[in-house]
Amino acid sequence: MVELAFLIPLITGIAAFFLSRQHGRILLMATGAAHLLVSALLWLNRPTALFSAYFAVTPEGLLSLLVISLLFFLISIYTTAYLEAADIQRERMFTGSMLLFLATMTMVTLSDHIIVMWIAIEATTLASAPLIYTHRSAAALEATWKYVLICSVGIAMALLGSVLITVSMDVGQVDAAVSFSALTAVARQLDPSWLKAGFIFILVGYGTKMGLAPMHTWLPDAHSEAPSPASALLSGVLLNCAYLGIFKTNKIMVAAGLEDFSGIILIVFGLISIMAAATYILKQTEYKRLLAYSSIENMGIIAFGTGVGGLGAYGAMICLIHHSLIKSSLFLTSGNILLGCGSRLIADTGNLIKRMPKTFVALFGGFTGISGFPPLGIFIGELFIIMAAFRAGRYVGAAFFLLSLGVIFAGFANHIMKISFAGSADVAPAPENACMIWPQYVLLLTSVILCFWMPDSLYDTIMQAVTVSGGGF
Amino acid sequence: MIHSVDTILSLVLLSTLFSLGSSRLPGLIKVIAFQGVVVSIVPLFIGHVISAGAIVFTLATLIIRGVVIPLCIYLAIKKVAIRREVEPIVGYHASLLAGLALIVAAAFAGRYFDAPTLSDSALLLPTAITVLVGGMFLLIARRNAIAMVLGYIMMENGIYLVGTTFSARAQHIVEFGILLDVLAGVMIMAVILQNIKQTFDDVDTALLRTLKE
């Protein structure tokens, strides 16, 4: 049952390589729907896995899985329309890789064994590499090369970190399964110095994949060169998957009483990422790169929140969910702009409100959400994180955090205003396909609804996920 | 005390030095293949009980690390017939010197760790560190994309050395998963290499610097 969640897209993904265009598109949507169904069932029943040594249904995994499922289903609807409009060569490769990508990401959310987690995260890199190379240009090639090499080397560090954690079991003479859940239970017996070394390597490794500065260099390239549905997946859910690896390792650290050590490292990496994003966002000339840097910012915020702990860990989870929903919608919208304006440069767009009014609504709605307008989700998450930082006495960190957020808001707003309102007044309206508008609206609406009404089971699951790492109120 | 595994590990150390000093790509590939073979038989000489499963797994590792992966890279360069120099950023002699310094540093560093499984071999930890960092050095100090991929493979060899020898816990099925990932990664890199060659007519990574900021 649990394993079905990744076996379905795995099988359909392989099948998609042999199907015709039309069948491939139908298969993509059907798999998205089936996956959503399986995820919902997992959410309701929370069964144990068949191979329980390797896989488990955990609260944090379930949260990510549900987000992945919902996003993929909506993105698959968008993709069918996008593929029609964008004229992508080797479409089978694209649909097949999308499905394999879904399978590997699902495997990340469900894996409990430390090494299986690593295998799954490395597999996401491999499955998504063909997606970035879809356009087959020199720039796309460079982005793919950077992505595969930097992420593979980075993730190799995480493998070393995982091995060092098993060494900490040997040194501490612990006899337990090599899984996150088992290790969290016996964390106090693990050898602290090897555990610390393992955590650092895992943070650097998965941090590379998550887009934490200064290991983020692949991210803007990959996100801007990939076709928009793929960028939406990369930014919306792939980064979460990498974060999941860090989150679970941090849980072991907290259980071992080393939360001060792991916390300060997470805070420093988080702040560097936010500040790096603030520096680069101001002078961006391409809107997809702008969104990519905003993802780096949000990953920084999430790392910062996790490092602060307490209320901050809860805030980080809120930010994680809302960032996925809003940022994927923004990347899908960027696809519409690209099709309408035919250029990735901000300077070539303009007057979107006249040119593509429906797309404008999605863009502007996404912008208000992602930049943290009260009372939307990201605002609530950031507020919790700042409160937690003050409670923990991290005033300097909080000051840098607030300053960078201010700069990012100013830079982001400036670019969005240019895209939306600047430029000549008399532009012909471009056609807008309903299938390429509604997925964004649904994503944004979900985010808005979650701000005002959060189902009890969702709240409980978030609390279960963060209480072990000292989260909650 | 000289342990039999130390003899094999010294071969690994030598291969690292050779890889830092080699200027031609085919030579470098052969060194990496040799290193892959030696690294994959190390577990047989470490004190674990040898089971049938362990032997099958060792054979699989040997074939993939020692034959399939190097062959993959070799075919990639043969097909595209590129200039077969590794285009160093740091010269060969300086690289060799750095390698020697690395071995000394790793030997010193190895004494500060207390890992219980290491007691019977003096060279294990220093070798692992040397291969790992040496691979990283190759990755940074060569501009040729193929040499960079080889550096990555060397790094993976180092991690494998740390992994199988330090801890007896990892199950074979899991290790096989790692191996499969590395193999698939190298294959994808080989495909990208061919595309880089077709697009840019060279595999010098200095050409891959158009995307910035």
Which residue from A9, A2, A4, A1 is spatially nearest to A27, judged by alpha carbons?
Answer: A9
What pLDDT is recorded for position B125? 84
Structure tokens at A41: 């069932």
* Nearest-by-Cβ selection for A156 from B159, B196, B209: B159
Q: Taking CB atoms and an 8 Å cutoff, what residues of chain B touch A138?
A: 199-200, 210
Judge if ipTM > 0.95.
no
**Contact: B169, A122; criterion CB under 8 Å:** no
pLDDT at B209 over 80: no
Worst-scoring range by mean pLDDT, A33-37, A174-178, A352-356? A174-178
What pLDDT is recorded for position B18? 93
Tens-digit pLDDT profile for residues A47-79: 888 888 899 999 999 999 999 999 999 999 999
Q: Taking CB atoms and an 8 Å cutoff, what residues of chain B touch A133?
A: 192, 195
Average pLDDT score, chain A: 92
Worst-scoring range by mean pLDDT, A29-38, A333-342, B161-170? B161-170
**Contact: B211, A138; criterion CB under 8 Å:** no
Average pLDDT over residues A24-41: 95
Dihedral angle, C-alpha A367, A357, A98, A18, nearest 10 °: 180
**Contact: A160, B132; criterion CB under 8 Å:** yes
Backbone angles phi, psi at A306, to 5 degrees: -65, -40
What pLDDT is recorded for position B7? 87
pLDDT at B19 over 90: yes
Partners of A471 in the β-ladder: A310
What pLDDT is recorded for position A239? 95
Structure tokens at A73: 């289903």
Enter the pTM of the model: 0.94
* Nearest-by-Cβ selection for A166 from B136, B167, B192: B167
What pLDDT is recorded for position A109? 96
Task: Compare A412 and B201 and report the one with higher pLDDT.
Answer: A412
pLDDT band at B115 (very low <50, low <70, confident <90, very high): low
Task: Compare B124 and A405 and report the one with higher pLDDT.
Answer: A405
Length of chain B: 213
What pLDDT is recorded for position B83? 62
What pLDDT is recorded for position B120? 63
What pLDDT is recorded for position B178? 87
Backbone angles phi, psi at B85, to 5 degrees: -110, 150
**Contact: A171, B115; criterion CB under 8 Å:** yes
Which residue type does A452 have? F
CA distance, residue B158 to nearest chain A CA (Å): 9
B/e letters for A362-373, b = 16+ CB within 10 Å, e = fewer, are: bbbbbbbbbbbe
**Contact: A170, B174; criterion CB under 8 Å:** no
Q: Chain B: residue nearest A123 by CA? A: B181
What pLDDT is recorded for position B81? 59
What pLDDT is recorded for position A249? 95
Would you give the DSSP letter of residue B68? I
Interface residues on A facing B, Cβ-Cβ cutoff 8 A: 54, 113, 115-116, 118-119, 122-123, 125-126, 129, 133, 138-139, 141-146, 148-149, 152-153, 156, 159-160, 163-164, 166-167, 169-171, 178, 220-221, 224-225, 280, 283-284, 289
pLDDT band at A139 (very low <50, low <70, confident <90, very high): very high
Q: What percent of chain A has pLDDT over 90?
A: 78
Residues 6+ apart with CB under 8 A from A317: A60, A63, A381, A462, A465, A466, A471
**Contact: A141, B114; criterion CB under 8 Å:** no
* Pairs of residues, one from chain A and one from chain B, whose beta carbons lie less than 8 Å apart: 111
Whether residue A139 contacts residue A124, with contact meaning beta carbons closer than 8 Å, is answered with no
CA distance, residue A104 to nearest chain B CA (Å): 12
Tens-digit pLDDT profile for residues B43-55: 887 766 677 778 8
pLDDT at B118 over 60: no
B153 touches chain A (CB under 8 A): no
**Contact: B159, A122; criterion CB under 8 Å:** no
Which one of B124, B146, B162, B174 makes the best mutation probe of the A interface by having the most chain A beta carbons within 10 Å? B174
B169 touches chain A (CB under 8 A): yes
**Contact: A156, B152; criterion CB under 8 Å:** yes
Which residue type does A299 have? M
SS3 track for chain A: CCCHHHHHHHHHHHHHCCCCHHHHHHHHHHHHHHHHHHHHHHHHHCCCCCCCCCECCCHHHHHHHHHHHHHHHHHHHHHHHHHHHHCCCCHHHHHHHHHHHHHHHHHHHHECEHHHHHHHHHHHHHHHHHHHCCCCCHHHHHHHHHHHHHHHHHHHHHHHHHHHHHHHHHHCCCCCCCEHHHHHHCHHHCCHHHHHHHHHHHHHHHHHHHCCCCCCCHHHHHHHHCCHHHHHHHHHHHHHHHHHHHHHHHHHHHHCCCHHHHHHHHHHHHHHHHHHHHHHHHCCCEHHHHHHHHHHHHHHHHHHHHHHCEHHHHHHHHHHHHHHHHHHHHHHHHHHHHHHHCCCEHHHCCCHHHHCHHHHHHHHHHHHHHCCCCCCHHHHHHHHHHHHHHHCCCHHHHHHHHHHHHHHHHHHHHHHHHHHHCCCCCCCCCCCCHHHCHHHHHHHHHHHHHHHCCCHHHHHHHHHHHHCCCECC
Average pLDDT over residues A459-471: 82
Average pLDDT over residues A354-383: 92
pLDDT at B171 over 80: no
Q: Taking CB atoms and an 8 Å cutoff, what residues of chain B touch A119?
A: 174, 177-178, 180-181
B71 touches chain A (CB under 8 A): no
Q: Taking CB atoms and an 8 Å cutoff, what residues of chain B touch A225?
A: 211
Tens-digit pLDDT profile for residues B68-86: 999 998 888 777 656 667 7
Measured on CA atoms in the order A388, A158, A150, A344, is the torsion positive or negative?
negative
**Contact: A284, B178; criterion CB under 8 Å:** no
Average pLDDT over residues B33-50: 83
Which residue from A370, A384, A387, A371 is spatially nearest to A447, judged by alpha carbons?
Answer: A370
pLDDT band at B145 (very low <50, low <70, confident <90, very high): confident
pLDDT at A92 over 70: yes
Q: What is the largest CA-CA distance in chain A?
A: 74
Backbone angles phi, psi at B204, to 5 degrees: -75, 120
**Contact: A139, B200; criterion CB under 8 Å:** no
pLDDT at B119 over 70: no
pLDDT at A361 over 90: yes
Average pLDDT over residues B203-210: 78
Partners of B24 in the β-ladder: B85
Average pLDDT over residues A427-448: 90
Q: Taking CB atoms and an 8 Å cutoff, what residues of chain B touch A143?
A: 211
Tens-digit pLDDT profile for residues A247-283: 999 999 999 999 899 999 999 999 999 999 999 999 8
pLDDT band at A170 (very low <50, low <70, confident <90, very high): confident
Average pLDDT score, chain B: 84
B119 touches chain A (CB under 8 A): no
What pLDDT is recorded for position B23? 86
